[in-house]
Structure 1
C-alpha cells in the first residue's frame, strides 16, 4: 500500500460558515428547532461556534437560500416549514451547473428583480433602507480587504425582495440565489478535488468574475439610490442594467 496516498482524515475540515450551517441544519432536522422558532441571535451563535459576525451572516444567508430560514429585519431569523421547491433547481444543489443553466437563471432574475426593485422603491421602510446600505458597505469593505463578497451581495438583493412586502419575491430569489450569486465558502475546495471540475458547482465561487466587483458595487449603489429616492422607474432600470451586465460579464468570463 502506498503510505503517501491521501486519507479521508487528511481532507480539510469544513469552513467556518459550513460548521454553523451544519449545526443549525441538524437542529432543524432533529426538531430541536421547529417551524416558526427563532434561531439564536448573532451574538449567541458567534460565541457558540467561535466565529465572527460575517461568518454567522453568511451561514444564515445560505440557510435562507436553502429555504430553511426567513429573516425579518430587526427581529431575527425563523425556521420555515418544509416547502415544495422547484425540482430542477433543488436537484442542482451539489451538482455541476453548466454556463447555460446559470445564464438561464439570470434571465429569470431579469424578469423578476427589476420589478422587485420598483416595488421596493415604493414600499421600503427607513429600517430596510439602512439595512440595504449596510449590506453595500459590507460588500465594499470585504472587496477592499480581499474577502468574499457573496454574503453581502445576496443580502442586498434579498433585502430588496423583502422590501416589496411580497414573500414570493423572496422565496424565488432564495431558490435562485445560490446558483447565480457565488458563495465564498465553497471556494475552499479540498486538495482531492479534480482539476477537471471546471464548471462552477451550485453555490461555488467564480474567481473569473472578481475583476468586475468595482463595477458591481457601482451598479448596486445606483439601485439603492433610486430606491432611496422612491423612484420606481429608476430602480427598475438600474436593477435591469445590473443583472444584464452581470449576465454579459459571465458570458465574457467563460470565453
Structure 2
C-alpha cells in the first residue's frame, strides 16, 4: 500500500525535528538531566505540528537519548555518543567472528579515521604528542625483549594516542570503541606466524618520522598499508581460530 503524500510529509517533518534534537544532545548543547522544551514550544520552533514533535521524541526515546515521564517534560538521559557507540560495538563484536565483511568494514572505518587524524596532525605545528612518542618507545622495548603481548599493548596505545592527540572529541569517542574491539582481535594474531616484531616496529617508526617531519602524504600512505596488512593478519588469525574450534567440536 502506497503511503499518502500527507504521511510522507509528516515523516519528513518528524525526522527533521528528531535529527536536530539528536544533534543538540550528542553535541553537548543539551546535557544529561536537561529538560526538552514543551511539545508546543518545539512545534513552534520548527514550524511543525505537535504530532510530528511527539513522533520525533519517540524516535529519540527508542535510541535511548531521552526519557518521557507522565506529567513532566522529556528528559535527556544520555550524556554523549559514547554509550550509543558502545552498544554498536557489542553488535559488531557478535558478528565479527562469523562474517568476514564485518572485519573488513571495521578496518576500513579505522583506516578512514586514522588517515584523517594524520592529516590534522601534519597540518598542526608543534612536536609529536608525548603519548605517541611514549607508545613507540614501549614498542621498541617490547621488540628488544621479544615480548609479544607488551608489543601488542604498545601498538594499540600508539594508534590510540595518535587519535587522541588530534583533540577531536567525536573522533576520539568513535575510535575508543573501535580500539577496544580491535585490541581483542589483535590478540588472536599470537595463534599464527606473523611478521617479526622488528618489521612491525619499523612500520610504526616510519609513520612517526613522517609525522614528525610533517610529511602528510608519506604518513597516510604508510598508515593505509599498515592497517591493510593488519587486516590480512587478523583474517588469518580468525580463520585459524575457527579451524581450532571446529576441530575441537
Per the normalisation by structure 1, the TM-score is: 0.52
SS of the residue 1:123 aligns to: coil
- Equivalent residue, structure 2, for 1:107: 108
- Equivalent residue, structure 1, for 2:206: 222
* Structure of higher RCO (CA pairs closer than 8 Å, 6+ residues apart): 1
Name the CA distance, whole Å, in 2 between partners of 1:84 and 1:155.
Answer: 23
Q: 1:164 aligns with which of 166, 169, 187?
A: 166
- Indicate how the Cα distance of structure 1 residues 150 and 103 shifts in structure 2: closer, same or farther if over 3 A, else same: same
- Equivalent residue, structure 2, for 1:97: 97
Name the CA distance, whole Å, in 2 between partners of 1:99 and 1:139.
Answer: 31
Per the normalisation by structure 2, the TM-score is: 0.53
Name the CA distance, whole Å, in 1 between partners of 2:200 and 2:233.
Answer: 10
Q: Which runs of 5+ in 1 are unaligned?
A: 1-79, 183-199
Q: What is the count of residue pairs matched by the alignment? A: 157
Q: Is the 8 A contact 1:124 1:163 kept in 2?
A: no
The answer to whether structure 1 residue 137 and structure 2 residue 120 are counterparts is no
CA RMSD of aligned residues (A): 3.0
- Equivalent residue, structure 1, for 2:52: none
Name the CA distance, whole Å, in 2 between partners of 1:110 and 1:88.
Answer: 18
- Equivalent residue, structure 2, for 1:88: 88
**Structure 1 residue 229, shift from structure 2 partner:** 0.5
Q: How does 1:1-255 map to 2 (within 5 A)?
A: 83-91=83-91, 97-98=97-98, 100=100, 101-123=102-124, 125-126=126-127, 128=129, 130-147=130-147, 148=149, 149-182=151-184, 204-208=187-191, 211-212=194-195, 213-253=197-237, 254=239
Q: Which has the larger radius of gyration?
A: 2
Name the CA distance, whole Å, in 2 between partners of 1:137 and 1:90.
Answer: 32
- Equivalent residue, structure 2, for 1:46: none
- Equivalent residue, structure 1, for 2:9: none
Q: Is the 8 A contact 1:123 1:163 kept in 2?
A: no
- Indicate how the Cα distance of structure 1 residues 206 and 227 shifts in structure 2: closer, same or farther if over 3 A, else same: same
Q: Which has the higher helix share?
A: 2
- Indicate how the Cα distance of structure 1 residues 154 and 91 shifts in structure 2: closer, same or farther if over 3 A, else same: same
**Structure 1 residue 94, shift from structure 2 partner:** 8.3
Q: Is the 8 A contact 2:85 2:174 kept in 1?
A: no
